[in-house]
Structure 1
Amino acid sequence: MNESAAAPASAAATPADPAAARPAAQPAAASPAAAQPAPKRRIAYWDNARFLLIVLVVIGHVISTVRTDSSLGFALYSFIYLFHMPAMILLSGLFSKPEASPKAVASTVQLLATWLLWEGVWAVIRAAVEGRAPGSGFLVNPSWTLWFLVTLATMRILLPYIARLRHPLLFSIALALASGLLPAVGTAFSASRTMVFMPFFVAGWLIRERGWLDGQWFTRPARAARIGAWALLGAVGIVFAVAVHLQDFWRIDRWLTWRDDYLTAFERGPIGDWQPTEWVSVSLGGIAVTALLLAMAAALTLAVLIVAPRRQSIITVWGARTLYVYLLHGPVVWVLRETGVIDAVAAWGVAGVLLLTAIAIAIALLLSMTWITRVFRVIIEPRVDWMLRRG
């Protein structure tokens, strides 16, 4: 996301650039103007990582409705969904602070305002095209991609309390594993995803708080580290690609949406013949599967962060606009679905999946353009100053 959704615009010193935390040498006789603190600068690395991840988000949504039409589509979807949102959540946590400062409050209020505004946008789209009025789940169950905004706002609100615990990361992991035990925890206000992804948000905050990624092994990873990271990403991707009968054995994609309790997850996505029905076996099995998937997500997230480019480039500029891509790609993909374009392209098999991937990348690039931010700023970053008390 851009800074309104994932990181404060003023964030400067990050684990990827420890030198940014050191003040520059000051002249012996600085003028009053020069004595003012310099504006904090963005770190190219984090924007680069954001752009890579938002491209994966768009690809996943483009192929979502046709993912079971081919083994390649299923493999690509499952691979992306295994780690792309955990990684996005981690970056969001990295730029969050466990405090209720005026700036933090304003950022969270703006996030909620954007969510409510876009719920209205989707309500209008559905009413105009489908003649469908908002139902009983309006605002309770976030529309499609809007769950991320609700989850992120909830995590920001909860972080000051979790940060006061002795072991905040262990607590968040326990919360994630326990989420599937409660059928009542579902899509309402994105509660299930909030609980499951909470460890990544807390880990992001701890990375910055405790300097876990400040070492040179991460800031300037050796060739061996990069090779290892690429090898891990490639190995997992290849496993998905060669397992052509994976969706017949395990609908892992249904687990990776993180909407269901463990019993429902096993009913919708049994693993071969393993479909426990007793509460104890369902609970222990669900916890084991969830722990494995989250561990894989953590490993792949770290691998992506290691291989992400660290130098300033054109994707650095695009990476600062990911909230625009995230929100605006939804209507674009929806139109492609409703008009049958995605189904028609997917019918070409492997070539269709590759073309849909190219279309998704093109959408991400288009929505990262400067003119997009100028035209749509009012509905992506609405002003909320009037809602907040001054002073």
Structure 2
Amino acid sequence: MSSAEQRPPDTSTGAIPRPRRRVPFWDNARFACVILVVLGHGIQRLTYDSAISESLYLVIYAFHMPAFAMISGYFSKSASPNRRQMARVITDILVPYVIFEALWMLTKWLVEGRADPNLTQPSWTLWFLLALGIFRLVLPYLALLRWPLAWALIISIGVGYMSNVNSTFSLSRTLGLLFFFTLGWWLSEHDIVRRMRLIDYRPWWVRAAALAVLAVWSFVVWRWIDVWREIDLRQWFFYDDSYADLTGELLWWAGAVRLAVMALAIVLSAAFFALIPRRAQWWTTLGQYTMYVYLLHSFVLYPFRESGVLRGLDPTWFWLPAVTALSVATAFLLASKPVRRLFRPLIEPRPRWMFADPGIVATGHRSDPTGSRRTR
């Protein structure tokens, strides 16, 4: 992979730059991550009645959103935004957020007979949409500082000590995951992936080590599942609650626990990325449409989640693979061309009428907030 694939071309010499090509690995990684998102939500109701389901849930939640945040950061820019980029924060994040909050309000009113419109409290999966917006707004300021990774780490750990920082605008979760987003940007900014050949060089022992890491973590989760239930480990993986809420009181060493959880997420993410195919697959292009899967899958799962049909399913050996297969199929379906064509006005709105200068609103297909169509 050449450096031109990772960074904007250098035109200072007057030479005509070669067009940048997409790196299939990143599209593969994006789609694999969003499959884990759907799978995690799909098996969530099974975890109450099945230890093996809860083990799989904890394995996924230990790293899948940190990995997603890292990929998003890798394709983010730290330069001061121009007018068009500022407009994209509105069109790509704020407008879809309002649209889908309205859809959730309508859904809850129709299904549950109640509606509680409150844009400050994101519904279910919409927290990550707000998080991406905040990440993009904060990154240029972090990039101005010396040691931006260190500052991001301090913020991600320190926010847990602040009980007044909560789920309003998903701020606690956003700041908790800020380090992973910044880490992704830092890897791109310093060209670490190309210089260390992290994609090109993939000998058998790297894949074997990655499998071993994931296997060991899976065994540890399953073997001591009662311990993880007792300490409510899943809540630590959400990066949402304050330490006082997680432990019952504010303990000075709680930040060290989050640091350990973050280190685990990085190790597992690295193992996960090491197993992602480098070359184009038949499903690679679907990695450009992860936002469709992310925003729509919760509506597919909502009836199953609320009806209770996923509770008490036995035997686990049948229902866990079945729900897993259906979750994967759902991800593929929601990324398909017919679904994209149908829901494009909601997920990629073009509200030119909102702007004093309609020309700053991008036309055609645009990169979603994860940077899924950028070739940086």
TM range (shorter): 0.7 to 0.9
Q: 1:190 aligns with which of 159, 170, 186?
A: 170
The residue correspondences of 1:205-354 to structure 2 (distance < 5 A) are: 205-214=185-194, 215-267=196-248, 277=249, 279=250, 282-284=251-253, 286-343=254-311, 346-354=313-321
Q: CA separation of 1:239/1:44 partners in 2, compared to 1, >3 Å: closer, same or farther?
A: same
> 1:222 is matched by which residue type in structure 2?
P
Deviation at 1:384, TM superposition (A): 3.5
Paired residue secondary structure (1:245): helix
Classify the secondary structure of the residue corresponding to 1:330: helix
CA distance in 2 between partners of 1:103 and 1:350 (Å): 51
- Structure 2 CA distance for partners of 1:378 and 1:231, relative to 1, 3 Å: same
Distance 2:18 2:84 in 1: 18
Aligned to 1:118: 100
2:324 to 333, 339, 357: 357
Q: CA deviation at 1:350?
A: 3.6
1:67 aligns with 2:50: no
Indicate whether 1:46 and 2:26 are aligned: yes
Q: Is contact 1:49–1:308 with CA below 8 Å preserved after alignment?
A: yes
Q: Is the 8 A contact 2:99 2:346 kept in 1?
A: yes
Please list every run of 5 or more consecutive structure 2 residues that lacks an aligned counterpart in the other structure: 10-14, 361-376
How many angstroms apart in 2 are the aligned matches of 1:174 and 1:341? 42
Contact 1:262 1:283 in 2 (8 A): no
2:176 is the counterpart of 1:164: no
One-letter identity of the residue aligned with 1:49: A
Is 2:6–2:188's contact at 8 Å kept on the other side of the alignment? no
Residue correspondence of structure 1 range 87-102 to structure 2 within 5 A: 87-98=67-78, 99-102=80-83
Q: Which moved more, 1:353-362 or 1:381-390?
A: 381-390
Per the alignment, do residues 222 and 189 of structure 1 end up closer, same or farther by CA in structure 2, a change over 3 Å counting?
same
Q: Is residue 28–residue 284 contact of structure 2 (8 Å, CA) maintained in 1? A: yes
Report if aligned partners of 2:53, 2:320 keep a CA contact under 8 Å in 1. yes
In the TM superposition, what is the alpha-carbon distance from 1:217 to its structure 2 partner? Answer: 4.2
Give the TM-score, by structure 2 length: 0.87
Question: Distance in 2 between the 1:158 and 1:121 partners?
Answer: 28
How many residues matched? 350
Shift of 1:369: 1.1
Preserved CA contact (<8 Å) 1:93 1:201: yes
- Identity among equivalent pairs (%): 35
Which sits farther off after the overlay, 103-112 or 358-367? 103-112
Instruction: Say which structure, 1 or 2, has more relative contact order (CA 8 Å, 6+ apart).
Output: 2
User: Aligned equivalents of 1:354 and 1:318: distance in 2?
Assistant: 23
- Does residue 376 (structure 1) correspond to residue 343 (structure 2)? The answer is yes
Q: Distance in 1 between matches of 2:88 and 2:278?
A: 27
Give the TM-score normalised by the residue count of structure 1. Answer: 0.84
Q: CA deviation at 1:253?
A: 0.8
Matched, 1:178 2:147: no
Residue 97 to residue 131, structure 1, CA distance change in 2 (3 Å): same
C-alpha separation in 1, matches of 2:152 and 2:6: 29
Cα gap change, 1:332/1:236 in structure 2, threshold over 3 Å: closer, same or farther? same
- Asked whether the 8 Å contact 1:180–1:262 carries over to 2, the reply is yes
Question: Considering only aligned residues, what root-mean-square deviation do their CA atoms show, in Å?
Answer: 2.2
- Find the aligned partners of 1:244 and 1:254 in 2 and give their Cα distance: 14
Aligned partner of residue 342 in structure 1, secondary structure: coil
Give 1:248 shift: 4.2
How far does residue 37 in structure 1 lie from its aligned partner after superposition?
Answer: 7.0
Query: For residues 38 and 181 of structure 1, what CA distance do their matches in structure 2 show?
Result: 49
Contact 1:176 1:197 in 2 (8 A): yes
Once the two structures are TM-superposed, the CA of residue 150 in structure 1 deviates from its matched residue by 0.3
Is the contact made by 2:48 and 2:311 (CA closer than 8 Å) also made in structure 1? no
